[in-house]
Amino acid sequence: MFIKAIRLDGVPHDGYPFSLPAVRALAGGGDLRLPTPVTLLAGDNGSGKSTLIEAIAVAAGFNPEGGSTSFNFATRASESSLGGHLTLVRPPGRRPRTGFFLRAESYYNVATEIERLGDSLLASYGGVSPHQRSHGESFLDLATHRFGPGGLYLLDEPEAALSVHGCLALLLRIADLVAAGSQFIIATHSPVLLASPGATILEITPDGPIQRVDFDQAQPVALTRAFLADPARFLDRLLADEH
């Protein structure tokens, strides 16, 4: 484990990002502990999952738009100020050998930077420019070729580019890397990724604390199961509620 807990040191104002449910919960709940090598952040749109992942990445020294700690480019500065107020609780003497921050929404910008840096860097990404692969293929290339043992990996909604089969492939790669001493912190809506063996699932509720839940209790899992059990009935109820 490279990060054991996350702490919010002070709330300078009530506006964004400190008004987000995830940040409010962190401000009032003491340390957010990460007890297992895989931590999954679940919660609805607007709950603050991505903002929190981005802030952890910035506090850990990663480029806000994504990439490794050696990436230093900016396309459009849109990150919040939250990273400057977080403290990452680290065990003494434990530092990752490598790491990466994957933001699904800005990986295009990272791919452009990889191309700009030249062929020597492409070898670490499968030998092919991410722009020459589909979005999902480039994500899996990243996990397969760039991610390595003893690494710290922060992933923001990686399922955005992946099929169900792709999510399963990523799940297997995560398990392999955890066995090799890596740590993952992932914001996700994917029931497949939420099934990561031995993972801690932290669900961000709209008004309450960040709470640890079991796989079956996680909202994406419960809703997906309810829908797949009887899609027609689920949609009938959904449409009836709309009217």
- Alpha-carbon distance of 225 to 13, in angstroms, equals 40
Residue 5 backbone dihedrals phi, psi, to 5 degrees:
-165, 165
Q: Find out whether 145 and 177 touch, Cβ atoms under 8 Å.
A: no
Distance from C-alpha of 176 to C-alpha of 170, rounded to nearest angstrom: 10
Q: What confidence category does residue 147 fall into, taking pLDDT thresholds of 50, 70 and 90?
A: very high
Q: Is the pLDDT of residue 219 over 90?
A: yes
- pLDDT of 8 over the 70 cut: yes
User: Given the DSSP bridges, would you call strands 5-8 and 32-33 parallel, antiparallel or unpaired?
Assistant: antiparallel
Which strands sit side by side in the sheet containing 183-187, from one edge to the other? 98-103, 151-156, 183-187, 38-43, 200-204, 210-213
Q: 121: helix, coil or strand? A: helix
Distance CA 70, CA 119 (A): 17
The third-level CATH classification (topology) of the domain covering 5-211 is Rossmann fold (3.40.50)
pLDDT at 58 over 80: yes
Q: Residue 16 — pLDDT band, cuts 50, 70, 90?
A: confident
Residues 71-129: tens digit of each pLDDT = 766 555 556 788 888 999 999 988 999 999 988 776 666 667 777 766 666 777 777 77
Residue 212 pLDDT class (50, 70, 90 cuts):
very high
Q: How far apart are CA 156 and CA 190, in angstroms?
A: 11
Q: What is the mean pLDDT of residues 179-187?
A: 97
The strand pairing partners of 200, in sequence order, are 39
The answer to pTM > 0.85 is yes
